[in-house]
Chain A
Amino acid sequence: MKILLRTVALAALTTGLMANAAYAARAYIGTYTPNAAGERSSNRGEGIYLVDVDNATGAPGNVRLVAKTLSPTWMTLSKDGKFLYAVNEVDNFNPQKSGSVSAYAVNAATGALKLLNVVSSEGAIPCHITIHPSGKYALVANYTGGSFSVIRIMPDGSLGAATDVIKPGGPTNSANAVDAPPGQSPSQANRITRGHMISPDPSGQYVVGADAGRDNIFVWKLDVNTGKLQEVSVTKALAGSAPRHFGFSPDGKTLYQIGEYNIRLTTYGFAGGKLTPKGTSLSAMPTGYQGSGTASELLVSASGKNVYSANRTHNSIATFAVGAGGIASKVTTTPTEGETPRSLTIDPTGKFLYSLNQRADNVATFRFDASGVPKFTGKFLAVGAPAVMVFLP
């Protein structure tokens, strides 16, 4: 019996060490969890998982649940990697039917998460969160609540109360974008504000928010003492295009914007907190596409040479090459190897791309070729309803 126990202990030790040696990177994966009331009652995620990532093959493995929480579908690490902030994409946190945000302390050695606190996101169905460069505030976009909120980060890493909540108004929009694919599904009637993303620009001077409901892109300045957002500019995107996600060129002078409903990449010059359209928009779908579609994620590579977007319904990744002056051209579309890519992630070495295929319950691993096009590696990882993946430093 003693011998058997010792063998087991040795095996565990050996396996653990070997696993650590082979896996040089780690990442958190956030998922959709069952929502008894809603249409996504069949979501099979359980919360936040930790995975080891083999940095030779790119394959994620050794998936384990590190935080049981409701639909942590977007999350971000603090700059020092000590804290993780995750939205809970719910609409029943409090009597106001808001969503919530959970703060976790990260155990750097094990990757374990310790829940610090949970606060209101100040709007239903939060779907995006980033940290302001000051490190003092979390920025949250609330989809159904139609708001953007600023939440104070306390010295111990926990979250305080919201210092500002912006809830844009204005006329509702039920139009379909005129440049949507033939056969695109009609957009929902009378869409109101849908906060879909909020992020600081690379200079740290501005905060940008995409409103996919009223087709507006907001630029604010954040007063780091009061935590209040002050509007600098509002850019009207094409009616019905539903600006959803965006990314900046490394120099911060160009903003790439993907429209959820027209599935097109629009490029803007970004200077003085103002957006100026650059060139014409480009479809992220194959040439001649007909039928339905909704874009989800947009990513800019660290080098700035490529832009990627995820096409749900067509279930593909569009690769764009960035030319002189930041102008993009479409290179190709690559199948995601699974249904409903909710987001894409590039690993810190810039070698691999991951497609989080929400309704296929898998993450597919791609390796970039020399031109920046993702090629499927043949590696899948089963995870229930994956939505977001964040690498640990």
Chain B
Amino acid sequence: MKTRVGFAAVAAVLMASAGSANAARAYIGTYTPNLTDPSAYANGRGEGIYLANVDDATGAISNLKLVAKDVSPAWFVLSADHKFLYAINEIDSYGPGKSGSVTAYAVDSGSGALRKLNTVDSGGASPCFISIHASGKFALVANYAGGSFAVLPIKADGSLGAASDVVKPGGPLNSASAVDAPVGQGASGPNRGTRGHMILSDPSGEYVVGDDAGRDKIFVWKLNTDTGKLAEVSVTTALAGSAPRHFGFSPDGKTLYQIGEYNVRLTTYGFAGGKLTPKGQSISALPDGYQGSGSASRLLVSASGRNVYSANRTHNSIATFAIAPGGLARKLATTPTEGEHPRSLTIDPAAKFLYSLNLRANNIAVFRLGPDGVPRFTGKFLAVGAPAVMVFLP
């Protein structure tokens, strides 16, 4: 009996040394079962938010553990001090208004455990994106089905208050397919209304940018940090039917890279004074000569600003673009995601590895970034039910 206890102690020591090999940690958000509407997009085999260890030599992810049982936390963000995590719940059943919700958690920096603080209305159904305003005082939320952008005050204790502003753009509906979509692209949904898909502060912290993938608009606002109200600075109309979905900034904040979900093309804009000015031609994120359906999901800019990446669902690949001086992009390659339906991509803090969250393959595939910035598959997979988003802890 004593011997057996000894073994257990040795095993614990071994586990601890395994822990020291895994120098990084990350949260993984997933889609969870939607029992009321199994045909809904927001339905998967995940259970909530997982914590995983990441080996910073191989990039491999391991030791997956559920740290928050929650409903479809399909996007989330850490506060600047990493003490709090804010996760949307991609649902349309919160409260009498059939809204979505956002859940605030306190992060235990030692264990990575999450303690739920509160859950509030997201200001619209099916929220799909959340970021923290540069002031740290507000969470910014994009609601897809609800067609709105919401500002949620962050209280001193890290919990969330009721929305200080909800912007719900109107205007004519759009059912057109983008003229520069791939040959054979699936028809876009009929009469699309506003679809809030992303909202983010620019690097200067002066502006907030929002993508409306339904009416093909890119909004720029200023946020009044006293009142929590958004004031419109500019509205840029993207190509009809292109469905601007995700964007990213160059490190200097002067260039904005925008991926269209339905035309599956990268458009580059100069960004100055809160206004967007198209730069050069848009570039397809699919292989040359591609025919068939496709829908882009994530766009990422590398920390160095030298590369832009986008994820192609349906073709199930990652497009790598090289950025030339002046911010113009050129396509380098497409790399298979090694799993179906990449919902998002993440680069680790050391910028050595890229992760593809393959929602319908129920896996995450690990890639190493080459000297040219092109991701090469490492051969490492991690099984996770319906992964959607991955955020590294510092």
User: Which positions in A face B, CB cutoff 8 Å?
Assistant: 39, 42, 44, 181-183, 185, 286-293, 312-316, 335, 337-339, 357, 359-362, 378-384
Residue of B39, B45, B187, B361 with most partner-chain A CB within 10 A: B361
Contact B381 A289 (CB under 8 A): yes
User: In the complex, how many angstroms separate the beta carbon of B391 from the nearest chain A beta carbon?
Assistant: 21
A301 to B223, CA, bound (A): 64
A288 to B378, CA, bound (A): 11
Q: Can you name 7 extra interface pairs (CB under 8 A) apart from A337-B315, A338-B315?
A: A44-B187, A290-B363, A313-B361, A335-B336, A339-B316, A359-B314, A382-B292
A137 to B308, CA, bound (A): 57
A346 to B3, CA, bound (A): 62
Q: CB within 8 A of A359: which of B290, B293, B338? A: B293
A383 to B293, CA, bound (A): 10
Contact A378 B289 (CB under 8 A): yes
Chain B 194-221 against A: per-residue CB contact (8 Å), 1 yes, 0 no? 0000000000000000000000000000
A162 to B314, CA, bound (A): 40
User: Could you give 24 example pairs across A and B, Cβ below 8 Å?
Assistant: A42-B186, A44-B186, A44-B187, A183-B384, A183-B385, A289-B381, A290-B363, A292-B340, A292-B362, A315-B336, A335-B336, A337-B287, A338-B314, A339-B313, A339-B315, A339-B316, A339-B340, A361-B184, A362-B184, A362-B290, A362-B292, A378-B287, A380-B291, A382-B292
Of chain B, the residue at the smallest CB distance from A378 is B289
A361 to B339, CA, bound (A): 18
Closest 3 CB pairs of A and B: A382-B184, A183-B383, A291-B363
Q: CB within 8 A of B288: which of A42, A378, A381? A: A378
A182 to B384, CA, bound (A): 10
Contact A292 B361 (CB under 8 A): yes
Q: Which residues of A have CB within 8 Å of B287?
A: 337, 378
Of chain A, the residue at the smallest CB distance from B39 is A39
A286 to B186, CA, bound (A): 30
A365 to B385, CA, bound (A): 32
Contact B379 A286 (CB under 8 A): yes
Q: Which residues of B have CB within 8 Å of A290?
A: 363, 381-383
Q: Which residues of B have CB within 8 Å of A337?
A: 287, 315
Of chain B, the residue at the smallest CB distance from A362 is B292
B294 interface hit (Cβ, 8 Å): yes
Number of A-B pairs whose CB atoms are under 8 Å? Answer: 98
Contact A185 B45 (CB under 8 A): yes
Of chain A, the residue at the smallest CB distance from B294 is A360
Q: CB within 8 A of A183: which of B39, B315, B316, B362? A: B362
B258 interface hit (Cβ, 8 Å): no
Of chain A, the residue at the smallest CB distance from B317 is A335
Q: Which residues of A have CB within 8 Å of B186?
A: 42, 44, 361
Q: CB within 8 A of A293: which of B292, B313, B336, B361? A: B361
Chain B 270-312 against A: per-residue CB contact (8 Å), 1 yes, 0 no? 0000000000000000011111111000000000000000000
B98 interface hit (Cβ, 8 Å): no
Chain B 346-363 against A: per-residue CB contact (8 Å), 1 yes, 0 no? 000000000000101111
Chain B 79-116 against A: per-residue CB contact (8 Å), 1 yes, 0 no? 00000000000000000000000000000000000000
Residue of A44, A312, A338, A383 with most partner-chain B CB within 10 A: A338
Q: Which residues of A have CB within 8 Å of B382?
A: 290
Contact B292 A360 (CB under 8 A): yes
Q: Which residues of B have CB within 8 Å of A313?
A: 339-340, 360-361
B183 interface hit (Cβ, 8 Å): yes
Of chain A, the residue at the smallest CB distance from B292 is A362
Contact A361 B383 (CB under 8 A): no
B380 interface hit (Cβ, 8 Å): yes
Knowing A185-B362, A314-B339, say if A360 contacts B383 (CB, 8 Å).
no
Contact A339 B339 (CB under 8 A): no
Of chain A, the residue at the smallest CB distance from B184 is A382
A93 to B264, CA, bound (A): 39
User: In the complex, how many angstroms separate the beta carbon of A234 from the nearest chain B beta carbon?
Assistant: 33
User: In the complex, how many angstroms separate the beta carbon of B320 from the nearest chain A beta carbon?
Assistant: 15
User: In the complex, how many angstroms separate the beta carbon of A87 from the nearest chain B beta carbon?
Assistant: 24
Contact B292 A380 (CB under 8 A): yes
Residue of A289, A314, A357, A378 with most partner-chain B CB within 10 A: A314
Contact B293 A291 (CB under 8 A): no
A65 to B291, CA, bound (A): 18
Chain B 9-51 against A: per-residue CB contact (8 Å), 1 yes, 0 no? 0000000000000000000000000000001000001000000
Of chain A, the residue at the smallest CB distance from B383 is A183
Residue of A291, A360, A379 with most partner-chain B CB within 10 A: A291
Q: Which residues of B have CB within 8 Å of A42?
A: 186
Q: Which residues of A have CB within 8 Å of B339?
A: 291, 313-314
Q: Which residues of A have CB within 8 Å of B384?
A: 183
Q: Which residues of B have CB within 8 Å of A183?
A: 362-363, 383-385
Q: Which residues of B have CB within 8 Å of A181?
A: 383
User: In the complex, how many angstroms separate the beta carbon of A290 from the nearest chain B beta carbon?
Assistant: 4
Contact A338 B292 (CB under 8 A): yes
Contact B293 A361 (CB under 8 A): yes
A314 to B316, CA, bound (A): 9
A183 to B359, CA, bound (A): 12
Knowing A185-B45, A313-B340, say if A291 contacts B362 (CB, 8 Å).
yes
Q: Which residues of B have CB within 8 Å of A182?
A: 383
Contact A362 B361 (CB under 8 A): no
User: In the complex, how many angstroms separate the beta carbon of B182 from the nearest chain A beta carbon?
Assistant: 8
Of chain A, the residue at the smallest CB distance from B386 is A292
A181 to B381, CA, bound (A): 11
Contact B340 A380 (CB under 8 A): no
Of chain B, the residue at the smallest CB distance from A376 is B287
A357 to B317, CA, bound (A): 15
A378 to B317, CA, bound (A): 15
